[in-house]
Structure 1
Amino acid sequence: MKKVITFLFLVSFGLTQAQQAFTGKGDVRVNVGANLQDGGSGIQGSVDFGLGENFSFGFVSTYLLGVDNFTGYYHNNPTPYTDEKPEFQDRFDAKARINANLSSVIGVEQLDIYPGLSLGLHNFGGHIGGRYFFTDGFGVFTEIGFPIAKYSDNNDIFDHLNNQATFSLGASFNLQ
């Protein structure tokens, strides 16, 4: 029972003390969290800079820490692979991105919903995310990213790692 009361107190305190998630020009929001996807998991870091009331640009980078090795035949290649490990370029991705920050549009200051587009090392893609700030400097975020068009027809063993839908969640910080 004590755990339930403590949990309800923390939730109600977090909701009553919540701060504005996106204020516009001059905002600097940093997200750090876990990246989850098919075939691996890792870390994601991003930074977004406010340019206007509902517009920001930024950068996002991911690195896969845990990736499944590959053993077997791939794309009708007669030579089998044995315990192939991904290289650094298979694990790493960096992207520039733009966002439409919708907190003022939806009328909830503490919640920033931000759809956007990204241009990265491996593909052109999109994302939709959300940030909720409990205090002026700390909040949580979640984000789904997806590729729209990849740059090459290269279909090596680990090409799918940076060309698939990803899910991220973690902490968000206000550096303004």
Structure 2
Amino acid sequence: MKKVLFTFVMTLALLSAGQVAFAQYEKGDKLLNAGIGLGTYGAGGIGLGGSFEVGIHDAISVGGLFGYSGRNYFGSRFSVLTFGARGSYHFNELLNLGDERIDLYAGLGLGYRSITWNYSGIGSGSSWGSGVLFLGHIGGRYYFQPNIGAFAEVGSGFGTLQAGITFKF
């Protein structure tokens, strides 16, 4: 009888451990996106970067972003470094989404883009095109596990289209 009871309790424990509880975005969440960006400014090709935001309200998060892309082009080295601050509005409650694994958001920000290039031929390098920029993004996250998922964004930042992995703390 003890073996049957032990087996029953262990089976219930394993089954309940396998249940995954998701929660939609809420105040206090810390969100980290890390991925690649396509259509990067100036350099073209693929960039690397990400963003980090903290929930300050059940529908609003604020944080920062960072991205880098570089490319060799006919004897020149072209690189773009982007960083800034951003905020997002999360539409989950407004749209009354039934699936808590989805987080839809859009936002604005202010950043700085540093563009440098070095030419190995005649002349030197330049930082033409560097400066302050306004940012905008629309995106979504899909959580495979309560704290791990995938994200995709369109808009400005380190790439026109950005996608990768997302973590919620």
State the TM-score, normalizing by the size of structure 1: 0.65
Displacement over 4 Å in runs of 4+: none
Could you tell me how far apart the structure 2 residues matched to 1:60 and 1:119 are?
10
The structural deviation recorded for 1:110 is: 1.9
Within a 5 Å distance, the mapping from 1:53-92 to structure 2 comes to 53-65=58-70, 67-69=71-73, 71=74, 83-86=75-78, 90-92=79-81
1:102 lines up with 2:112 in the alignment = no
Provide structure 2 residue ranges, at least 5 long, that are not aligned to the other structure.
Answer: 1-18, 114-132
Aligned 8 A contact 1:18 1:134 in 2? no
Could you tell me how far apart the structure 2 residues matched to 1:18 and 1:100 are?
23
2:163 is matched with which residue: 150, 169, 173?
Answer: 169
Could you tell me how far apart the structure 1 residues matched to 2:64 and 2:28 are?
16
Could you tell me how far apart the structure 1 residues matched to 2:72 and 2:134 are?
24
1:139 lines up with 2:149 in the alignment = yes
- CA distances 1:28-80 after superposition (whole Å, capped 9, x unpaired): 01011111115121211111100101111011111114x251x4xxxxxxxxx
Could you tell me how far apart the structure 1 residues matched to 2:82 and 2:145 are?
31
State the TM-score, normalizing by the size of structure 2: 0.68
Greater Rg over alpha carbons, structure: 2
The structural deviation recorded for 1:146 is: 2.7
Q: How many equivalent residue pairs?
A: 127
The percent of aligned pairs where both chains have the same amino acid is 32
Q: SS where residue 20 of structure 1 aligns?
A: coil
Provide structure 1 residue ranges, at least 5 long, that are not aligned to the other structure.
Answer: 1-15, 72-82, 148-161
Q: Indicate the residue corresponding to 1:130 in structure 2.
A: 140
Q: Indicate the residue corresponding to 1:111 in structure 2.
A: 102
Q: Which amino acid aligns with 1:111?
A: I
